[in-house]
Amino acid sequence: MSATGNLFAQQVANRKASRRLVAGFILFVAWLGFGGDFIWWLASRSAGDTGALHVFPGIGILFSVIAGTMAWVGYNYGATMLMKASSAREIDTPSTEAEQRLVNVVDEMSIASGIRRPHIWIVPDKAPNAFATGVKPEESHIAVTEGALETLNRDELQGVVAHEMGHIANYDVRLMTLLTALVGMVALVHNFGFRMGRIGGGGGRRSRSKNDGMGVVVIVLLVLWIISWLIAPIVTRLMVMKVGRSREYLADAMSAQYTRNPGALADALVKIGGSNIKPRAIPKSSAQLCIADPFHSKWDEREGRVANLMATHPPLRERVQRLREMAYQNAGTVESLNSPLSMSEA
C-alpha cells in the first residue's frame, strides 16, 4: 500500500508538513517586524553615534501586540461571530429524525475521538457542507448545513462529522485563528512598515560615509525588507492557505481512523463536490473552514504549484483517491467527480 493509503503514515507526514509551514510562516512574520529593528540597529551602530543607537525592538514588539490583540479577539469571539454570520441555530433538543441522527453521530464520534461532545449547529443552507470552530476541544462547535442532512446518508454524515472532529482534535481551528490573526496584522501595518523602512533607509545612507562595507549590508537588508513588505500580504495569505490544505488531508485521515470507513467520507466528498447549489448562509470569508470549498473556486481542482497556493482546499479528486486507497477501493471511481450524472446518482 502506498504512503497515501496508510492513514497513520499520512497523519505523520501531514503533521510534519504543517509544522514546517507554520515555522516558515512565523519566521517570515518575525522578519517583517524584528527585521526592521535589526536593520535600524545595524544602521545606527555603523553611524558611530552611540546616542542614536537603536536598541529597543519597538517595531517587532508593536507588531506582536497588534497580532496578539487580533488573536485574542478571534480566540474569544470567533466561534460566536461565525455562527451568527451563518444564521446557524444550536440543537439543544432534537425535533426531527434528521436532527436526532446528527446528534447520535456526533455522540459516536465524540466517543471515538475521546473529545467532549461539541456544540451542534444547523446552518439554514441547502448547499451540503460542514465546518468546525472553537479554539479548544473542551469548547468546540460543529455546524452542518441542512443540505448535508438531506443529501448524505448516515455513514457519509458520520465520515463528515469525524473529519470535523479531526480538526478539533488537532487544534486546527486554533492554529488557523492564530495564523489568520497574523495575516490581518500584516495587512493592517503594511503601510506602517514602509514608513519604518524609510527611517531605516536614512540610517543606511549615513552609515556609508563611515563604513562602506556595513553600509552595503544595511542597504541590501533594507531592500530585502522592503520587498518582503511589498509581497507580505500575498505571501502570508498563501502560506495560511497552504497550511489549511495540509490540515484537510490530516483531518481526512483522522476521519478514517475514527470511523474505520474511509470510503464513506470519499462518497460524501463526491456528493458535496458535485452539488451545484450556491451557498447563501455561509460567509465567503469562512470558506476555508468548510470540509470542501462551498463556492467551488476555479483553483480547487487544478494541479500544480500555483493551484496549490491559490486554493483553500486540496483537490477533491486527490482527497477522494487517498480515501479510496485507504478503503482498498478502486481509485478509478474518482472519475465520478467529473460527471454530473454520477454525482446525482451517488
Per the CB < 8 A criterion, the answer to whether 146 and 125 are in contact is yes
Question: 52 in a domain, yes or no?
Answer: no
Classify 6 as helix, strand or coil.
coil
Q: Which residues contact 281 (CB under 8 A, 6 or more apart)?
A: 86, 87, 88, 123, 124, 125, 145
Average pLDDT over residues 98-114: 96
Question: 294 in a domain, yes or no?
Answer: yes
pLDDT band at residue 211, thresholds of 50, 70 and 90?
A: low
Separation of alpha carbons 296 and 294, rounded Å: 6
Question: 17 in a domain, yes or no?
Answer: no
Please indicate whether residue 108 is annotated as part of the active site.
no
User: In the prediction, which pLDDT does 345 show?
Assistant: 40
Separation of alpha carbons 183 and 63, rounded Å: 11
Which cell is 53 given? 543607537
Question: 154 in a domain, yes or no?
Answer: yes
Distances in Å between the Cα of 128 and the Cα atoms of 58, 123, 152, 268 are 48, 10, 8, 9
Question: 309 in a domain, yes or no?
Answer: yes
Question: 20 in a domain, yes or no?
Answer: no
Catalytic site residue from 164, 248, 301, 325: 164
Question: 156 in a domain, yes or no?
Answer: yes
Residue bearing cell 451542534: 120
Separation of alpha carbons 123 and 89, rounded Å: 7
Per the CB < 8 A criterion, the answer to whether 54 and 41 are in contact is yes
Structural domains in the chain (count)? 1
Distances in Å between the Cα of 31 and the Cα atoms of 53, 152, 229, 231, 303 are 20, 46, 10, 13, 31
pLDDT digits (tens, 9 = 90+) for 7-32: 566 556 656 766 776 777 778 878 88
β 119-123/89-90 pair status: antiparallel
- List the one residue out of 244, 290, 257 whose CA is nearest residue 158: 257
Residue span of the structural domain in which 75 resides: 57-184+233-345
Q: Could you give the residue ranges of the DSSP H alpha helices within the chain?
A: 7-47, 58-85, 97-113, 146-151, 154-169, 172-188, 190-208, 212-259, 262-274, 305-310, 316-326, 340-345
The more confidently predicted of residues 29 and 292 is 292
pLDDT band at residue 338, thresholds of 50, 70 and 90?
A: very low
Separation of alpha carbons 120 and 142, rounded Å: 5
Mean of per-residue pLDDT scores for the chain? 78
User: In the prediction, which pLDDT does 116 show?
Assistant: 92
Q: Give the count of alpha carbons within 13 A of 189, CB side only.
A: 24
User: In the prediction, which pLDDT does 295 show?
Assistant: 86
pLDDT digits (tens, 9 = 90+) for 228-244: 878 887 777 777 777 77
Separation of alpha carbons 208 and 129, rounded Å: 60
Residue bearing cell 497588534: 66
- Taking 90 as the threshold, does the pLDDT of residue 124 lie above it? yes
Question: 180 in a domain, yes or no?
Answer: yes
Please state, as a whole number, how many other Cβ atoms lie within 10 Å of the Cβ of residue 154: 12
